[in-house]
Structure 1
Amino acid sequence: MKKLYIVFIFIFISSCDDGDLQIESLDFDDVSVQTCTAIDIAQANTLFKINDDESLILILGANVLTQEEGSITVELTSSTSSTIVYRLFSDTVTSDYFCDDIPPSTPTVLDEITATEATLTITTTSTGTVDAPEYEHNIQLNTISLITSSNQRITDLAVEEFGTVTSN
């Protein structure tokens, strides 16, 4: 009986739970930013990056992007109209998931984490002409703070270049 008790203790001590989501880094630097519609600075814009079975979604509130040259810093919190969402899917995801009126039934979302805080730097430059104004908005995510479903805080996750989008 002692031997059986020792075996159970050993199994209990050496067991682990592989069910927890462990995000060690967000690796979206080599992935292009995508959008489903043309950028409209007067409305909210949804930008996303897809890396196989995960995505990083940036929702910019209306008038965050401007048609004035220069750089601005945008602080995102739970009370702002802009937000960042990280999603982990059951399989490889495509832009159809975000752009179709009715998203495909697969892949499914395994976990979704909304950033509690983030800092963006948006640099706007004029690339058009007087007759056809056009602006490029280079977006850099400086810091991101995520809280997982198991209340684990992951901070200072940086995505050097989120990407560049164009508005008219």
Structure 2
Amino acid sequence: MRKGIFLLVFLGLIGCSDGELQIETIDFDAVDLNFCGTATTQTELFFKLNEFDALILNLDNGLIRNQASTDTIRSAIPGGSQVRYRLFDDTVNSAYFCDVVPPVTPGVVEEIPGQSGEVLIFTTRSETDTTKFEHTIRLKNVSFVNDAGERLTNIAVDDFGAFTTAQD
């Protein structure tokens, strides 16, 4: 009996986490879309910030256009567009992405690139101001794989956000 209890305790100890960071959920659906400066058709960097993490989207050049879409514009991940999940060691804000000289802190704890998926963009002309266009960005079937080869699950990043541009 004692050997059985000892064996169970021993197996429990070696089965415990080795202290590596475990990311269980990536959820940015309720987080506002951010970008640096004023959004234009040339804007390619978009990001969403939680307290200690960020979801970063780099769009392929030329995807944003000031014309109403007849179909959804698609860009492959990776390939045309890139999406990354970044975890920081302290609170992150937009200055990290927008300052000419990025701040030294917070530091990056882990960065996980999107390995597959699509960026979907649909553009409509404003009904109240025909010189403005609203661009809605969605992510479809995005898959993140960390350096250990583990696929992250519980990903809620479908609705990336919307922004408005003015006619050039």
Query: Could you state the TM-score of these two structures normalised by the residue count of structure 2?
Result: 0.82
Q: Is the 8 A contact 2:29 2:156 kept in 1?
A: no
Question: For residue 144 of structure 1, what is the aligned residue in structure 2?
Answer: 142
Tell me: CA distance 1:12–1:104, structure 2 relative to 1, closer, same or farther (3 Å).
farther
State whether structure 2 residue 44 is matched by structure 1 residue 45. yes
Question: For residue 103 of structure 2, what is the aligned residue in structure 1?
Answer: 104
Q: Find runs of 4+ consecutive structure 1 residues off by over 4 angstroms.
A: 6-13
**CA distance, structure 2, for counterparts of residue 21 and residue 75 of structure 1:** 31
Per-residue deviation, residues 70-114 of structure 1 (Å, max 9, x unmatched): 24142423332x110100000111111111111111110000011
**CA distance, structure 1, for counterparts of residue 165 and residue 151 of structure 2:** 35
**CA distance, structure 1, for counterparts of residue 141 and residue 38 of structure 2:** 27
Gaps of 5+ in 1: none
Report how many aligned residue pairs link the two structures: 160
Q: Is the 8 A contact 1:141 1:158 kept in 2?
A: no
Greater relative contact order (Cα < 8 A, sep 6+)? 2
Q: Is the 8 A contact 2:77 2:118 kept in 1?
A: no
Q: Is the 8 A contact 2:28 2:156 kept in 1?
A: no
Shift of 1:19: 3.1
Tell me: CA distance 1:73–1:109, structure 2 relative to 1, closer, same or farther (3 Å).
same
Per-residue deviation, residues 123-142 of structure 1 (Å, max 9, x unmatched): 2111132xxx2111011112
Tell me: CA distance 1:77–1:155, structure 2 relative to 1, closer, same or farther (3 Å).
farther
Q: Is the 8 A contact 2:27 2:155 kept in 1?
A: no
Query: Could you state the TM-score of these two structures normalised by the residue count of structure 1?
Result: 0.82
2:26 match: secondary structure: coil
**CA distance, structure 1, for counterparts of residue 62 and residue 140 of structure 2:** 20
Shift of 1:44: 5.1
Q: What RMSD, in angstroms, separates the aligned Cα atoms of the two structures?
A: 2.5
% identical equivalent positions: 36
Question: For residue 62 of structure 1, what is the aligned residue in structure 2?
Answer: 61
Q: Is the 8 A contact 1:58 1:85 kept in 2?
A: yes
**CA distance, structure 1, for counterparts of residue 50 and residue 10 of structure 2:** 37
Tell me: CA distance 1:160–1:79, structure 2 relative to 1, closer, same or farther (3 Å).
closer
Q: Is the 8 A contact 2:49 2:92 kept in 1?
A: yes
Write the letter of the residue equivalent to 1:51: N
